[in-house]
Structure 1
Amino acid sequence: MIEEIRLFFGKAHVFPNYLVVYMNEGITVKPEYNTHLINIAQKYFKDKPFGYITNRINSYAVNPLVYLQTSKIENLVAFAIVSNPDIKKSNVELEKIFMKIPFEHFSELELAKKWVESIITKHSSN
């Protein structure tokens, strides 16, 4: 890990090719929170592809419009959700509709990291 960034709505762990984000319990993720993601992307991933992993260890809500804004980050090439395997598959499928980049659900963080790295590798070799 390169750095841990504390945000008012959670924290982000920055790695060389991706972020792992942990949202606070009970919040609603709003589109305006993307400003923080954009700033992190510009600081740590300028001009290089990166991935975003949300590790849903806490319960929180997401305004799906967040994904429309997130999809506009040019160098974001992969988005992964890590959560309990019992999460309603329909929630993930709904969220997927709003994303315009590769988007997958995982029950283990390490699997999500490997998947994100594989997408970045494919993207970098094009």
Structure 2
Amino acid sequence: MIKTLHFDFGEIRVFKNFVVVIMKEGITVKPEDNQHLVNISKEYFSERCFGYITYRINSYAVNPMVYIETSKIENLVAFAVVSAEGLKVSNLQLEKRFITIPFEHFSDLDNAKNWVNGLVSKRDS
């Protein structure tokens, strides 16, 4: 891990090829929160591709418009959701409609990291 960044909505852990985001319990992620990800993409990944992993260990809401803004980050090549199997598939299907980059669900953080690393490697080669 390169660095852990703390925000009002949660924390973002920066790794070589991706970020792992853990949101705080009960918050609502809004499109304007996406500016932090834009800034991180420029500071830590300015010359290369990266992936986003949301590690959903807490319960929170996401305004679907966030995904439209997230999709605009040019060097973001993968979006992974890690959560317990109990997460409603319908929620994931709704979220997928708003994002234009590869989007997958995982029940294990290591599997998500491997998937993201694979996509980043393909894009960087």
Pair in the same fold by TM > 0.5 = yes
Partner of residue 46, structure 1: 46
CA distance in 1, matches of 2:40, 2:8: 14
CA distance in 2, matches of 1:37, 1:5: 11
CA offset digits 1:106-125 (Å, max 9, x no partner): 00000000000011111112
Equivalent residue runs for 1:34-73 within 5 Å: 34-73=34-73
CA offset digits 1:32-63 (Å, max 9, x no partner): 00110001111000020000000000000000
Q: How many residues align structurally?
A: 125
Percent identity between matched residues is: 60
> Which SS does the other structure have where 2:94 is aligned?
helix
CA distance in 2, matches of 1:98, 1:47: 26
Partner of residue 11, structure 1: 11
CA distance in 2, matches of 1:56, 1:65: 18
CA distance in 2, matches of 1:119, 1:17: 10
Partner of residue 103, structure 2: 103
CA distance in 1, matches of 2:122, 2:30: 30
Structure 2 unaligned regions, length at least 5: none
CA distance in 2, matches of 1:109, 1:49: 20
Structure 1 unaligned regions, length at least 5: none
Q: What TM-score do you get using the length of structure 1 for normalisation? A: 0.98
> Runs in 1 of length 4+ with deviation above 6 angstroms?
none
